[in-house]
Amino acid sequence: MALQAPTSQRLDELCSEEQLQLLNAIDSLRSQGVSHYVSLPQIIVCGDQSSGKSSVLEAISGVSFPVKSNTSTRFPTELILRKSDASSVTVSIIPHYSRSDGDKEALAAFQETLKTFDEVPTLIEKVKDAMGISTMGKAFSKDLLRIEINGPDRPHLTIVDLPGLIHSANKHQSTADIELITEVVKKYMKEARSVILAVISAKNDYANQIVLSLARRADPKGLRTLGIITKPDTLIPGSGSENMYISLARNSDVEFRLGWHALRNRDSDGDPQTLSQRDEQETAFFSKGAWSELPLSQLGIQPLRNRLSKVLLHQIATELPNLMEEIAGKAAICQQQLDKLGLPRTTVHDQRIYLIQISQGFQTLVQAAVDGTYNLAFFGDAMSTAGYERRIRAVVQNLNRDFAAELDKNGERYQLSSPKREPSTNGNTLTREQYIKKIEILLDRSRGRELPGLFSPMIVSDLFREQSSPWAEIAERHVRKVWAAARKFLGHLVNHVADVTTVEAIMMYVIVPRLDGNFKAVSAQLSKLLGPHQDGHPITYNHYMTDTLQKLRRERDESRIDTVIAKLFDTFSGEGRLRAGYSLEQVRDAFIVSGDRDMDHFAASEALDYLSAYYKVAKKRFIDDLAVEAIEGCLVAKLKDIFSPIDISRMPDSDVAQIAGETTESRQTRENLEAKLRMLSYSLETCRRFAEFKVDDLSENDERDNSSNDPAFDDVSWTEGSDDAGLKSPPPTSRDILEAVAASEDVPSLEHGCLEDVVPSKDPGDDDFWTGLSSKKDKKAKKSKKKPPPDWSW
């Protein structure tokens, strides 16, 4: 079959230069491998094995594919159809990204140009050999076969044929093959920009065909799925099976927003009929019987070509803005990763410059974190775990507060029981009398030259040393928590400013050793702060101690007076009258404090008061000293200097090379990122160039439309190079194209809102054609005045 002698009529609509640029732009991105990074708009053909997928492709394209019942698609096939003056068929292979570099190079070199369509089946076998597919070995491949067909009778269409889904393993198709094919089909289906062409064979019950369940799982609402019923001629006319499939075609059973379509396939077993004969036989079949009751737009190959072209064009047009946004986002991330890698570091000088650069960024972020200024992107969300860990000032402040609360609750060796105070968790709670008894014993064993009823000042030192003994453990635990928080913070920071290949070396050889040194400095400062409390004698000139001592005594007096009042007065009557039987002398005597005749008890009680008063003063001082002199002075304030440019400039060459020298992995990572960024940048520029062209074109058309008040203006058929009603008609805009798609009476599924449901809502006042099919005003005009869609036959 010569390329110059096409055998079937092809769609000659929707063939403007604008559309060709649009479709070619997307195909170009796919050929560059962009689909590995972002989902591209496409039509994918899916179905169970032997469902008739290859026959559908053959009917759409006019190219003969292997359709024998004992063969099946062994790899994804991208079929690109383009209308052009010259006919050609070009075949290439796009290697899967998981291939080795050698395999990628070999497969990418596969290029074939065919002279006749009869060579396609032979070419398929060559492709299998190139991909390493054999019936006894590797049965399927993830590589993509790309077939580009140009000719004057071709539609503007790109579709991807996927391997048929297998129900059970046999000697030619293993369980592993089944899993591989299912994985490939699921991957293509789950891409939100893919329109799923679900091919169902009428030879089998559609409820048992795998493709339907997978399509429903990938597209639960059926917004982007078009069902294709093949082999309807195998059904017995008037049978229940035929009625069931006709009901399916009416979208009454399995509902898809894009609807259903029916095709009659050629016989796969040696049917010699040409494609033209196939189309004639199909037309004859659908013109009679129960199938003739369906709309013509749902029957046969010619309406399907129209339908697919419109669906693909609409899908690309509506997804392009989101596609550009996604590409821009991934390109920005890629650039950030490259920035972290820095320039190639082949010499010690390059390596030192790299370390100095990231140390500058390190210091900037440390200073911001220590100052509590969290407006940089590094700090992220405060409500996330990582975001909080990066806010080192907030973490330290909270840990200091927790330490103060812990010391207040559990810092005393013996805690005096009190209804106003939460009991300690260390289980050493004593009543005042129990504590006085312990002090009396200590007084007996430490007696000096003091008179009875007095106590030696050294007693307070001994008592305080014992009472503050838990401080060391609580403070050490607090220091370890702050140190651990600082290490987490610095780990996040180094991961942010350095590339993945140097993070570990920087942490191991720079950050951790110096942070450990800071920890030792904090520990030494802690020991210094604990020394006066553990080894010295009480010293304070703070009047708070006197105030506390007086407060303690006042509280005991108030408690005793309350007891006396409750005993002498009728406090329950609300009048506070003196109870009968008490004289004024008795009342006076009751309020007079009787002397403590036990001098040791009195001395012990006084010593306990002094201990309690001094403990509170010393505790407050210790909390502040630890926070200011140890945590802040020896750790937090020193974080910025852990990784400084000055230290890097003085670092020996051997250390610089050990830390920042590039590994093979690092060089490969940079090369991959650079290739990815080039690809994404090219893709973004391609999309932007096309989108900007459309916006400008639309603006010009708006000015043209606004300049005309002729109501017949809307009925002009825009045909390139022709004049109508005295107007020189430019090519139609993409808005015209989409409105024609929406208004087309050829496709009922489009008329009933199938496409509008997947179009983003139009912002009032926004006239960009990407954001909607037509305005409300346009729709009202269509309802009030029926008009044919524009003629796209140029």
Residue-wise pLDDT tens digits, 342-368:
778 889 999 999 999 999 999 999 999
Please report, to the nearest 10 degrees, the dihedral formed by the alpha carbons of residues 344, 350, 352, 358 taken in order: -40
CB 506 within 8 A of CB 499: no
Dig out the tokens for 516 from the structure: 């450990």
CA distance 208 to 48: 10
CA distance 42 to 386: 39
- Lowest pLDDT segment from 266-275, 336-345, 756-765: 756-765
CA distance 119 to 123: 6
Specify the DSSP element, H or E, that contains 353: helix 348-371
CB 515 within 8 A of CB 491: no
State whether residue 270 is helix, strand or coil.
coil
pLDDT at res. 95? 86
Residues 6+ apart with CB under 8 A from 219: 189, 196, 225
Specify the DSSP element, H or E, that contains 682: helix 664-706
Residues 6+ apart with CB under 8 A from 640: 363, 366, 367, 370
Dig out the tokens for 477 from the structure: 């635990």
Q: Does 764 or 603 have the greater pLDDT score?
A: 603
pLDDT at res. 73? 65
CB 74 within 8 A of CB 163: yes
Give me the amino acid identity at 382. Answer: A
Per 3-state DSSP, the chain is made up of helix, strand and coil in percentages (nearest 5) of 60, 10, 35
Under the banding of pLDDT at 50, 70 and 90, the label for residue 268 is: low
State whether residue 396 is helix, strand or coil.
helix
Average pLDDT over the chain, rounded to whole? 78
Dig out the tokens for 703 from the structure: 């000015």
Work out the average pLDDT over 316-339: 87
CA distance 335 to 358: 16
pLDDT at res. 624? 95
Dig out the tokens for 49 from the structure: 């094995």
Question: Checking DSSP bridges between strand 111-114 and strand 88-94, what pairing results, if any?
Answer: antiparallel
pLDDT at res. 380? 93
pLDDT at res. 68? 52
Which of the listed ranges 78-87, 189-198, 572-581, 765-774 does the model predict with the highest average pLDDT?
189-198
Report the largest interatomic distance among the alpha carbons of the chain, rounded to a whole angstrom.
135
CA distance 20 to 731: 13
pLDDT at res. 689? 72
- The answer on pLDDT for 74 being more than 80 is no
pLDDT at res. 740? 41
Dig out the tokens for 265 from the structure: 């396939």
CA distance 454 to 443: 10
Give me the amino acid identity at 636. Answer: V
pLDDT at res. 590? 67
- The answer on pLDDT for 118 being more than 80 is no
Q: Does 784 or 493 have the greater pLDDT score?
A: 493
- The answer on pLDDT for 699 being more than 60 is no
pLDDT at res. 342? 74
Dig out the tokens for 243 from the structure: 């009625």
Write the CA distances from 430 to 74, 99, 412, 423, 617, integer angstroms.
84, 75, 11, 10, 21
pLDDT at res. 247? 94
For 33, how many CA atoms within 13 A lie in the half-sphere containing its CB?
A: 16
CB 137 within 8 A of CB 151: no
- The answer on pLDDT for 46 being more than 60 is yes
CA distance 789 to 743: 7
Residues 517-526 have pLDDT tens digits of 999 999 999 9
Work out the average pLDDT over 160-187: 83
Residues in the chain: 794
The closest alpha carbon to 82, from 43, 27, 42, belongs to 27
pLDDT at res. 212? 92
For 587, how many CA atoms within 13 A lie in the half-sphere containing its CB?
A: 12
Under the banding of pLDDT at 50, 70 and 90, the label for residue 576 is: low
pLDDT at res. 225? 94
Q: Does 429 or 271 have the greater pLDDT score?
A: 429
Under the banding of pLDDT at 50, 70 and 90, the label for residue 113 is: confident
Work out the average pLDDT over 151-155: 74
pLDDT at res. 34? 75
Please give the angle made by the CA atoms of 414, 417 and 411, to the nearest 5 degrees. Answer: 35
Under the banding of pLDDT at 50, 70 and 90, the label for residue 339 is: confident
State whether residue 511 is helix, strand or coil.
helix
- The answer on pLDDT for 155 being more than 60 is yes
Quote the percentage of the chain above a pLDDT of 70: 76
pLDDT at res. 54? 82
pLDDT at res. 691? 67
